[in-house]
């Protein structure tokens, strides 16, 4: 696995995207913690004020019902209770004399107005000051009464939430950036693997393939598609090399024969008939060469997918019947019998001309390689997965070890190449079949060869719209 450059990680899109997500997530956390702070602090503040309001109302009722003396006693009783040490009181007369409470008279002597007040009290022994939240009222007899509560718990909650904000923010930032770095590093490893493989391929090593992790994720699917593309490119490049070698080998003979014919005519022909014979032989050899190049050109066009745009929905039964009408006379010339069993109305999709070429090449091979006075069976029928064309002859057949080679360009079972033909007929069949995603199997007919062609049902074809014949 390739190494990651130290400064390349922070330039990756995945890392920048991670930082963006971290910012969005951080903002969400801040909003969430802010709401928690507001809700918690608000609830505690309202609870403290409710306690003060209730206590103030109770003492006011005492003073109204029982007088100032009872009010002073009530405050003193409350200050004696250990559970009430967070409560603070001060009562003073209308002339400013403090008569009850645990707050120094001078601390709130300046308060002459009613309502809520915030005090900061320091104990006699020093220490941290206490924050008091309280409310003052004037009673009917002119007594100024202040009741407050220690707000230390509220302050602690504020401090706790503040620490949670800080720690949560730091942890969120560390996890987001760290997780982003790990994720980006992993993604960068996979992308670098693709880049390194591409560099090797550009350098000429077409055997290199992109490694897969086996997780089945989108990178594995991308690697699988790219590897499939590279396999096809390698096959095409190999085919080009093989074609060059085959052209040099297979066209040498007709070109040599053509040259010898012309050379013989130049040296030995003495009359018009001799020159005419030489010209006819030269034209025949030239036609054979042109036919070979034409077949190679058609195969190249088909393999390039140039004919895919002409795909249309078609009647496959009519296509096969049209081809057989042409080849029935050729079979009769060899006293062969074409046994035809075509199911009507069988439909598929594709290029009509190419499919006719495929069926014609297979029928021509069957007729050419079958002996005289034999039966050739041609059948077309629908299957659950589409339709199936079967062409079975009684010829010599094809050995098992050669069945994978007969679809290669210029391959011929007869190594002497004395019989007519270029060895491109089945290569053209294979190219058409691959373009249409048609399956072809070669089986033993005992004796002879049985060719099974499997057509897919009508479907939409990539890069084109399946049309109907006549559009």
The pLDDT score that the predictor gives to residue 143 is 87
Contact 313, 349 (CB under 8 A): yes
**pLDDT class of 87 with cuts at 50, 70, 90:** confident
Strand-strand pairing, 312-315 and 347-350: antiparallel
| Per-residue confidence (pLDDT) for residue 469, from 0 to 100 | 43
Average pLDDT over residues 147-165: 81
For residue 170, pLDDT over 70 is answered with yes
More confidently predicted of 274 and 306: 274
Is the preceding omega at residue 463 within 30 degrees of 0, hence cis? Answer: no
CA distance 66 to 64: 6
Identify the pLDDT of residue 425. 74
Q: What angle do CA 208, 214, 219 make, to 5 degrees?
A: 70
CB atoms within 10 A of CB 142: 11
Residue 384 burial by CB count (10 A; 0-12/13-18/19+): exposed, middle or buried?
exposed
Q: Which two tokens stand for residue 108?
A: 């709130």
Give the model's pLDDT for residue 349: 84
Mean per-residue pLDDT, 2-14: 54
pLDDT recorded at residue 390: 92
Query: Residue 417: what pLDDT?
Result: 47
pLDDT at 463: 43
Query: How many C-beta atoms lie closer than 10 Å to residue 33's C-beta?
Result: 16
Residue 30 clears pLDDT 60, i.e. is over it: yes
Asked if residues 179 and 19 have their Cβ atoms less than 8 Å apart, the reply is no
pLDDT tens-digit readout, 196-217: 888 888 887 778 888 887 777 7
Mean pLDDT of 173-180: 75
- In 3-state terms, what secondary structure has residue 81? coil
Residue 470 DSSP SS3? coil
**Mean pLDDT score, 47-64:** 88
Q: What strands, in cross-sheet order, belong to the sheet with 386-392?
A: 337-342, 375-383, 386-392, 449-455, 439-444
Window from 193-207, 303-317, 456-470 with minimum mean pLDDT: 456-470
Of residues 343 and 275, which shows the higher confidence score?
Answer: 343
Q: What is the pLDDT of residue 452?
A: 92
Cα–Cα distance between 355 and 351 in angstroms, integer? 6
Distance CA 460, CA 199 (A): 36
| Residue 301 confidence (pLDDT) above 60 | yes
Segment 331-365, tens digit of pLDDT: 888 888 888 899 888 888 888 888 888 888 889 88
In three-state secondary structure terms, 159 is helix
Average pLDDT of the residues in 188-200: 82
pLDDT at 193: 82
* Average pLDDT of the residues in 41-62: 87
Mean pLDDT to the nearest integer, 293-302: 68
Whether 72 shows a pLDDT value over 80: the answer reads: yes
For the cut 50, the answer to whether the pLDDT of residue 255 exceeds it is yes
Whether pLDDT at 261 is above 50: yes
pLDDT tens per residue, range 93-121: 878 788 888 887 766 655 667 888 888 77
Residue 268 or residue 46, greater confidence: 46
Contacts 24+ apart (CB under 8 A), 394-399: 394/370, 394/445, 394/447, 394/448, 395/366, 395/369, 395/370, 395/371, 395/447, 395/448, 395/449, 396/369, 396/447, 396/448, 397/444, 397/445, 397/447, 397/448, 397/449, 398/442, 398/449
Q: Residue 191's closest CA among 171, 163, 211, 207?
A: 211
Weakest-pLDDT range from 86-90, 197-201, 204-208, 417-421 = 417-421
Per the model's pLDDT, the better-predicted residue between 471 and 10 turns out to be: 10
Residue 3's pLDDT band (cuts 50, 70, 90): very low
Q: What pTM value is reported for the model?
A: 0.47
Give the other-Cβ count within 10 Å of 87's Cβ: 20
Could you say which DSSP state residue 371 is in? P
Instruction: From residue 167, give the alpha-carbon distance in Å to each of 55, 171, 211.
Output: 39, 6, 42
Q: Stretch 167-181: mean pLDDT, rounded?
A: 77
**Mean pLDDT for the chain?**
78
Cα distance between residue 350 and residue 173, in whole Å: 58
Question: Is residue 464 within 8 Å of 449, Cβ to Cβ?
Answer: no
Taking 80 as the threshold, does the pLDDT of residue 254 lie above it?
no
Taking the C-alpha atoms of residue 77 and residue 71, their distance in angstroms, rounded to an integer, is 10
- At residue 267 the predicted structure's pLDDT band, cuts being 50, 70 and 90, is confident
Distance CA(340)–CA(320), nearest Å, equals: 10
Maximum pairwise Cα distance, the chain: 160
H/E stretch holding 349 reads strand 347-350
Nearest C-alpha neighbor of 112 from the set 132, 90, 129, 88? 90
**Percentage of residues of the chain with pLDDT beyond 70:** 80
Any residues with CB less than 8 A from the CB of 453 and at least 6 apart, and which?
358, 362, 388, 389, 390, 391, 433, 438, 439, 440
Best-predicted range by mean pLDDT (13-22, 366-375, 412-421): 366-375
**pLDDT greater than 50 at residue 467:** no
Angstrom distance (rounded) from CA 42 to CA 19: 34
User: How far does Cα 409 stand from its chain's mean position?
Assistant: 37
Q: How confident is the model at residue 47 (pLDDT cuts 50, 70, 90)?
A: confident
- More confident site: 419 or 281: 281
């Amino acid at each position: 696995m390739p190494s990651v450059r130290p400064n390349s990680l922070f330039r990756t899109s995945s890392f920048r995207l991670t930082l963006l997500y971290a910012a969005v997530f951080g903002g969400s956390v801040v909003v969430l913690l802010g709401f928690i702070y507001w809700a918690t602090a608000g609830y505690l503040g309202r609870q403290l004020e409710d306690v003060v309001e209730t206590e103030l109302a109770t003492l006011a009722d005492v003073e109204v019902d029982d007088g100032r003396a009872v009010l002073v006693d009530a405050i003193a009783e409350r200050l004696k209770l250990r559970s009430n040490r967070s409560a603070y009181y001060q009562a003073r007369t209308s002339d400013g004399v403090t008569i009850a409470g645990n707050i120094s008279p001078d601390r709130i002597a300046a308060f002459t107005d009613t309502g809520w007040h915030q005090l900061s009290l320091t104990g006699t022994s020093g220490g941290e000051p206490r924050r008091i939240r309280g409310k003052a009222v004037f009673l009917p007899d002119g007594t100024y009464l202040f009741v407050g509560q220690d707000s230390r718990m509220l302050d602690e909650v504020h401090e706790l939430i503040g620490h949670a904000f800080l720690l949560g923010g730091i942890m969120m930032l560390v996890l987001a950036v760290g997780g982003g770095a790990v994720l980006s590093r992993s993604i960068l490893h996979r992308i670098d693997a693709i880049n390194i493989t591409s560099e090797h391929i550009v350098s000429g090593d077409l055997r290199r393939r992109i490694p897969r992790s086996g997780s089945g994720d989108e990178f594995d699917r991308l690697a699988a598609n790219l590897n499939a593309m590279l396999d096809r490119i390698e096959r095409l490049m190999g085919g080009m090399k093989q074609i060059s070698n085959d052209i040099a080998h297979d066209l040498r003979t007709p070109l040599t024969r053509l040259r010898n014919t012309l050379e013989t005519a130049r040296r030995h022909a003495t009359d018009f008939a001799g020159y005419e014979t030489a010209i006819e032989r030269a034209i025949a050899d030239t036609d054979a060469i042109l036919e070979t190049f034409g077949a190679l050109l058609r195969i190249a066009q088909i393999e390039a997918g140039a004919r895919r745009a002409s795909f249309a929905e078609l009647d496959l039964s009519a296509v096969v019947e049209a081809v057989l009408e042409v080849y029935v006379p050729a079979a009769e010339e060899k006293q062969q019998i074409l046994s035809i069993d075509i199911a009507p109305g069988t439909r598929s999709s594709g290029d009509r001309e190419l499919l006719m070429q495929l069926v014609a090449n297979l029928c021509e091979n069957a007729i050419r390689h079958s002996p005289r006075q034999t039966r050739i069976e041609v059948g077309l029928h629908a299957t659950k997965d589409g339709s199936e064309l079967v062409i079975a002859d009684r010829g010599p057949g094809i050995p098992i070890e050669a069945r994978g080679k007969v679809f290669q360009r210029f391959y011929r079972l007869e190594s002497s190449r004395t019989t007519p033909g270029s060895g491109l007929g089945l290569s053209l069949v294979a190219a058409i079949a691959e373009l249409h995603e048609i399956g072809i199997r070669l089986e033993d007919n005992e004796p002879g060869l049985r060719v099974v062609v499997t057509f897919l049902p009508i479907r939409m074809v990539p890069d084109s719209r399946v049309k109907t014949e006549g559009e």
